[in-house]
Amino acid sequence: MKIVLLGASGMVGQGVLRECLLDPEVEQVLCIGRSSLGRSESKIRELVTANLADLSNVEGELSGYDACLFCLGVSAAGMSEADYRRTTYDLTLSVAKTLLKQNPGLSFLYVSGAGTDSSERGRAMWARVKGATENALLSLPFKGAYMFRPGVIQPRHGIRSKTALYQFFYSTFGLLIPVVKALFPNSVMSTEELGLAMIQVAKHGHPKRVLEARDVNTLLKAATPAAG
């Protein structure tokens, strides 16, 4: 399996990349970003481009892939709806359509968020925009399109968030996250769990096109062999 990954330098993307590199069935990971990751693993291929919202100039390098794991995202804090829509809806759909043109059999997996508003009419701006993005992706003729809606994401294996506020939260309250997960298992997942689930769905699909945290938990339990 050959995978396209966007957002590999972010907290979620780092976790997904780690699981891709560990999976023997993943042959190659094309990491598309604005700057180099500075990594030398043989599975990684990098495509650095200044404008992620327009990949038309590198279309010829985007064919031959089985799945796109889209982990790129920005915080809506302090952004106008128009700006957030440009960096979320417009950019994502541009990437999706370009990849689909080059890979008609592509599966597209999008990291959205818990509370996303599929009606696109709610009060929360970010949730409306995420909902619009999900709906637009689901309307495209991918082999499969899957929306992942994690709640709190726990960084594992030394991964850190690039967003200062998020990293402050993890540094300050990180020890409480396992407690919260024990009490509310469908409110927290780790970067490792999200990565494993995305790869599993990229390989085998899923009956649901929108996966909440409880669906990820169920998927991972089913994929883990019982001890015997």
pLDDT digits (tens, 9 = 90+) for 124-149: 999 999 999 999 999 999 999 999 99
pLDDT digits (tens, 9 = 90+) for 16-33: 999 999 999 999 999 999
Q: Considering the chain, what is the average pLDDT of its residues?
A: 90
Instruction: Judge whether 8 and 52 are in contact, CB under 8 Å.
Output: no
Q: Cβ of 52: how many Cβ atoms within 10 Å? A: 17
Classify residue 227 by its DSSP letter: P
In this prediction, what percent of the chain has a pLDDT beyond 70? 86
Instruction: Judge whether 92 and 137 are in contact, CB under 8 Å.
Output: yes
Give the CA count within 13 Å in the CB-facing half-sphere of 86. 6
Residue 44 forms beta bridges with which residues?
Answer: 29
Walk me through the domains of the chain, giving residue ranges and CATH numbers.
2-221 (3.40.50.720)
pLDDT of 73 > 80? The answer is yes
Q: Where are the extended beta strands (E) located within the chain?
A: 2-6, 28-33, 44-48, 67-70, 107-111, 144-149, 152-154, 188-190, 210-212
pLDDT of 161 > 60? The answer is no
In whole angstroms, what is the distance from residue 29 CA to residue 24 CA? 12
**Taking Cα atoms as reference points, which of 66, 53, 57, 64 lies closest to residue 26?**
66
pLDDT of 98 > 70? The answer is yes
Q: What are phi and psi of 187, to 5 degrees?
A: -105, -10
pLDDT of 174 > 60? The answer is no
